[in-house]
Amino acid sequence: MSRPESRKPAGKYRKVTEIPLLQSNLLTWGRENFRDYPWRSTQNPYEILISEVMLHRTQSEQVVQVYLKFIEKFPDVRSLGQASEHEIHEIMHPLGLKWRIDLVYPMAVFLNDNYHGEIPKGKDELKLLPGVSEYIAGAVRCFAWDMHEAIADTNTIRITGRIFGLITRDSSRRSKRFKDLLLELVPPSRPRDFNYALLDLGGKLCVKWMEPLCGQCPIQQFCQYGLTKISEDEIIL
């Protein structure tokens, strides 16, 4: 029987004091359990920007073929800006969310007009682009340039809440408190690898819709939720 997400773990809130070891354990696990998607094999900021736009509210497996076809046809901002909106819709329509598709062409036009077809590195500049949220801006900075960013989605915030023994809600991914705690976990030296590992942990082990696989988790010993699970298992034994 799964534990409701709203249940508060036993014990008081305890700040993680062994973050370097947590980071090391998760990075090792992430290297061995890496989910290999085509946008993860590049650090081209344009390709990563397109992938993040496509991944918004869409499962990764649905995006793969659309992404590959899109990048083949429009390999850079200039070629995308020369496309017709009909061509963009034709490729992206299997992903749904028409409003998202409608923003891709204006985004290319804006980049060509203001940045000579290059992707800006600044978060504020990225957020000026049509269709680019704070999350997408942070993801592009992290995955393209390995910048120290917290990738705050439902998976990573759920993991953060469990680590620190905090209740999470749908609104938590917009909470400054949770984002600050998540950023505290991300090592400044390897944010790209760490964030991919954290996303994979949320997809494989620290899941929402069933009992999390705490016994297989590389950071269970640092997690308030995971420690509660160990205590329950000891009581059963």
> What confidence tens digit (pLDDT) does each residue in 139-180 have?
999 999 999 999 999 999 999 999 999 999 889 988 999 999
Residues 224 and 141 reside in one and the same domain? no
Query: 199: domain CATH number?
Result: 1.10.1670.10
Mean pLDDT of 14-22: 76
Q: What is the pLDDT of residue 15?
A: 55
Q: Which of 145, 170, 187 is the last residue of a domain?
A: 145
Residues 126 and 176 reside in one and the same domain? no
Model pLDDT for residues 68-104, shown as the tens digit of each residue: 999 999 999 999 999 999 999 999 999 998 999 999 9
Model pLDDT for residues 30-44, shown as the tens digit of each residue: 999 999 999 999 999
Mean pLDDT of 98-120: 96
Residues 120 and 154 reside in one and the same domain? no
Residues 119 and 182 reside in one and the same domain? no
d(CA 199, CA 213): 15
Concatenating the DSSP letter of every residue in 51-107 gives HHHHHTTS-HHHHHHHHHHHHHH--SHHHHHTS-HHHHHHHHGGG--HHHHHHHHHH
pLDDT at 136 over 50: yes
The answer as to whether 8 is a domain residue is: no
The answer as to whether 5 is a domain residue is: no
Residues 66 and 141 reside in one and the same domain? yes
- 232 pLDDT band, cuts 50/70/90, is low
Query: How does 177-192 read in b/e, with b if 16+ C-beta sit within 10 Å?
Result: ebbebbbebbbeebbb
Domain that holds residue 95: 44-145
pLDDT at 63 over 80: yes
Residues 225 and 206 reside in one and the same domain? yes
Model pLDDT for residues 167-224, shown as the tens digit of each residue: 998 899 889 999 999 999 999 999 999 999 999 999 999 998 778 999 999 999 999 9
Q: Which of 145, 172, 194 is the last residue of a domain?
A: 145
In 3D, which of 119, 121, 110, 123 has the Cα closest to residue 150? 123
Count of structural domains, the chain? 2
Q: Which of 126, 145, 164 is the last residue of a domain?
A: 145
The answer as to whether 1 is a domain residue is: no
**Opening angle at CA 30, ends 24 and 33, nearest 5:** 145
Q: What is the pLDDT of residue 12?
A: 43
Q: Among residues of the chain, what percentage have pLDDT more than 90?
A: 83
Q: What is the pTM of this model?
A: 0.88
Average pLDDT, the chain: 90
Q: How far, in Å, are 66, 131, 179 from residue 112 at the CA level?
A: 23, 16, 32
In 3D, which of 59, 50, 51, 60 has the Cα closest to residue 80? 50
